[in-house]
Structure 1
Amino acid sequence: MEGKVILLVIIGTIGVMLMAFSVVFFVFLYRRKTLESKLEIQEVKTKHQEEMLAATLKSQEKERNRLGTELHDSVGAMLSSIKVNLQVAKRKKDVNVLGEVLSHLDDTIGQVRSISHQMMPVILKKYGLKKAIEDHFDKISSNNLTASIEEWQDFSLNDDHELMLFRILQELTNNTIKHSNATIISVSFEKSNAKKVICYRDNGNGFPDDMLLDTDGMGLLNIMNRAQSIGATAEFSNLETGGAQVNLVIDTSID
């Protein structure tokens, strides 16, 4: 009898040990799978960030190349022409040539100002984001297109963020003009609790379905990159009444 009790105790102990081992094993396995899952998610995020960074660098390189081409082909050619005219005036001692030189100088100054305005709009630096958007909307508005600020609840942004937001709106309006056949563009700036929301709308064709399904495509990636650089998320959708909508949401609660 005593032997049976000892045997049962041994079997029970072994059973408990097996159960404990099983629990430890499954906890270990669960933690390992969780860690692997986290690593996979982190890897995907890292890859996504690398792709976004590459797209941003590509966009910046494209912009630098464009400005370099403009400086070389336009301003460089104008300055070369001015130099030739000055050499002619010096050789011939012809004062009349100076009038043509001055005219070329005026054109060159205008071109430099235009390039400078593209890099950092003077009106944005002097008068702020609202005036810069109004000025941009005035320039793109026509008999076939009306662009306006629908609502403006002023909120503070630093200079770099204002410039980036202005560039986003420029890109959105350019896309609308090129692709949407819209006649109305509107933008609103609103504050809601701990969020700043910039809402852009047009009444055009809307976004293609495949573009909305793959917002990481090159068509919208540049806008997403710019939005991310100011701590905003970009939400793309089509309106039921027709047209496109882009919400830029800045969550100030995590600042």
Structure 2
Amino acid sequence: MEGKVILLVIVGTIGVMLMAFSVVFFVLLYRRKMLENQLKMQEVENQHQQEMLNATLKSQEEERNRLGTELHDGVGAMLSSIKLNLQVAKRKEGVGSLDPVLGHLDETITQVRNISHQMMPIILKKYGLKHAIEDLFSKISCDGLSASISHWDDPQIKDQDTPMLYRIVQELVNNSIKHAEASEIDFQIHNQEGKIEIEYSDNGKGYPQEVLKSSEGMGLLNIKNRAQVIDAKPTFTNGNDGGSMVKLVIERPID
């Protein structure tokens, strides 16, 4: 009798332990499923946020393009027409007092052209990315700064992607001048098998280590966001001998 009681106690204890293990197992399984669902929801949310950011950047670029075109073709043309009429009136009437007005009008036309060029570089639209970057480099080059394209393969970049890449170069140039205090800037595009490699480097101060770790300061977050829109993967590094380098890799399917 006593042996049966002991056996029942052992069996009962084992049963309770199995039930306890089962409860723990199902709790852990439930938590794992919950965590997986949370991760999936977070992934969907992150993807949605990235898609929203991409759409916003594209929309901003389209609006810049529209406003730049209106300024150049609309307001700029009207101001030029007004200037021409005033010049004709001056010649006919000999009105010397129009000289200050014509001077202010020239300044206004120049400012409108500069604003329209910043919003939508005409040369990018008419002649393509290489000429637009060369034009940008020629405008910033001076006795203390040399900027040039040392290598250019035909990159075969989509037309809708070139404005984003041009904005990235603008941001990098701004960093080189304002933060890095560089005196030399070099730009290269290599058309590799199945990918495009873009390299931008300068001989300035380089990026602070905290900026390299976060990749968010000094306009780097803007560069990363714009690179994401054109499916480019950016890397930011400092050279062993000073200066900085930014590399963009755009994967392209092989035809």
TM-score normalized with structure 1 length: 0.68
After TM superposition, give the deviation of residue 220 of structure 1 in Å: 2.1
Counterpart position of 2:26? 24
Q: Distance in 1 between matches of 2:207 and 2:139?
A: 24
Contact kept? 1:211, 1:219, Cα under 8 Å: no
Q: Distance in 1 between matches of 2:145 and 2:243?
A: 14
After TM superposition, give the deviation of residue 243 of structure 1 in Å: 0.2
Q: Distance in 2 between matches of 1:114 and 1:218?
A: 24
Counterpart position of 1:232? 232
Give the letter for the 2:29 counterpart: V
Report how many aligned residue pairs link the two structures.
238
Sequence identity of aligned pairs in percent? 40
Counterpart position of 1:35? 37
After TM superposition, give the deviation of residue 37 of structure 1 in Å: 4.6
Q: Distance in 2 between matches of 1:47 and 1:246?
A: 27
One of 93, 96, 99 as aligned partner of 2:94: 96
Q: Distance in 2 between matches of 1:175 and 1:51?
A: 26
Secondary structure of the 1:136 match is helix
1:189 is aligned to 2:157? no
Cα deviation 1:17-49 (Å, max 9, x = unaligned): 554444333222222233345545666x47975
Contact kept? 2:175, 2:218, Cα under 8 Å: no
Gaps of 5+ in 2: none
Counterpart position of 2:206? 206
Contact kept? 1:56, 1:222, Cα under 8 Å: no
Q: Distance in 1 between matches of 2:32 and 2:248?
A: 38
Contact kept? 1:124, 1:132, Cα under 8 Å: yes
Over 3 Å counting, the alpha-carbon distance change for 1:213 and 1:15 in structure 2 is: closer
Counterpart position of 1:120? 120
After TM superposition, give the deviation of residue 165 of structure 1 in Å: 0.8
Counterpart position of 2:215? 215
Gaps of 5+ in 1: none
Over 3 Å counting, the alpha-carbon distance change for 1:98 and 1:158 in structure 2 is: farther
Q: Distance in 1 between matches of 2:159 and 2:93?
A: 47
Give the letter for the 2:34 counterpart: R
Q: Distance in 2 between matches of 1:131 and 1:118?
A: 15
After TM superposition, give the deviation of residue 159 of structure 1 in Å: 2.5
After TM superposition, give the deviation of residue 242 of structure 1 in Å: 0.5
Give the letter for the 2:33 counterpart: R
Q: Distance in 1 between matches of 2:118 and 2:97?
A: 29
Contact kept? 1:150, 1:188, Cα under 8 Å: yes
Over 3 Å counting, the alpha-carbon distance change for 1:177 and 1:22 in structure 2 is: closer
TM-score normalized with structure 2 length: 0.68
Give the letter for the 1:31 counterpart: K
Contact kept? 2:182, 2:205, Cα under 8 Å: yes
Secondary structure of the 1:201 match is strand
Give the letter for the 1:136 counterpart: L
